[in-house]
Amino acid sequence: MSDRQPWSAEVSSLLANIYRCADKSSWYSGVASAYDRTRPRYPAKILACMQEIAKLQPGKAILEIGAGPGIASVELAKLGAKLICLEPSLPACELAQRKCATYYPNVEFVNTTFEEYELGDRQFDAVIATTSFHWVTPEIRNQKTARALKNNGLLILLWNTPPQPSYEVHQSLTKAYQAYAPELAKYEEHQNHQKNLAKIGEAVIESGYFRDMLDEQIISTVTYSVDDYLTLLSTLSPYINLEPEQRSKLFAELKRILQPNYSGGLELSYLSLLQIAYRQ
C-alpha cells in the first residue's frame, strides 16, 4: 500500500475525537507562542477576496471564533470594523490582546468558547471562524452561528492547512514515523484537505441556515528551518496528542534525518481556503 494516501481512518477518528473531547481552554495553551511564531499567515489574495465580498468596513460588527494568538485578528482589526474575538486558551487570548491593545481599540478579546459565549440579543454583520470551525460542537455549530448573524449576514470560514514538505521529503521520514508514531506516517495530500473542508462547507448549506456558498483557494510555499518545522509540528493536534516521551523521540529522529540535507531551509506548502455563505 502506498504511503501517498490520505491519513488513515484511525487518524481521522482520532482528530474528530480530539475536537469533540479536548479541553479547548488548555489544548493549545502550552504552545501559544510557538503557534504564533510558526503557524502560517493568511495570504493577501485570500484576505483581499474576503474583503471584496464582505466589505468589512468601519461600522460593521464582526465576531471571530477561535482567535488563537491573533494571527487573523490583527488583519481583521486593520479593516476598522468593531471586532469581538473569542479564544478559549488564556495564554493565546492574552498574546492576541497584547498585539492589538496599542493600535486597535476597535478589538475586544473574550476568553471563552463560542459555545459558552452569551449572545443575548446581539447580532453581527459577519461571523468569522479562522481555522477553528471544526472545533465548534457540531450539534450547535450552524444553528448558533446563524443566531449570531443579522439577516443576510455572512459566515466567513478562513482556513490554513498545516504546512507540509514534499512527498519525497516525507518518504525520507517514513521509518522515523513507523518507529515512534505509526499513526502519523501517512502523507496528507492537499486534495484531501480540500475534500475535508468542502464537507464542512456542504454541511453549512445543508443545515438550512445558510445559502450561496462562495469559495476561493490558493496553495502557498514557505521555507522553515528544521527547528522551526519541528516547532510547527508541536502545535498540531495529532502531535500534541502524543505522549511527551514519544513526541520527543520522534522529533529527535526527524531532526537527525532532516538537518544534514536541509540546514539551509526546508520548503513547505499549505492550502489556504476561504468559504463565505449568507444567512438565510
- Domains detected in the chain: 9-164+187-220+270-279 (3.40.50.150)
Overall average pLDDT of the 60-68 stretch: 97
DSSP class per residue in 18-34: HHHHS-TTTTTGGGHHH
Query: How far is it, in rounded angstroms, from Cα 196 to Cα 150?
Result: 28
Give the model confidence (pLDDT) of 246-280 as tens digits: 999 999 999 999 999 999 999 999 999 999 999 99
* Chain centroid, CA 260 distance in Å: 31
Mean pLDDT over each residue of the chain, to the nearest integer: 93
Give the model confidence (pLDDT) of 109-129 as tens digits: 999 999 999 999 999 999 999
Query: How far is it, in rounded angstroms, from Cα 178 to Cα 189?
Result: 19
Q: Which residues contact 270 (CB under 8 A, 6 or more apart)?
A: 40, 160, 161, 162, 163, 164, 219, 220, 222
Rg (CA), the chain: 19
Give the model confidence (pLDDT) of 143-156 as tens digits: 999 999 999 999 99
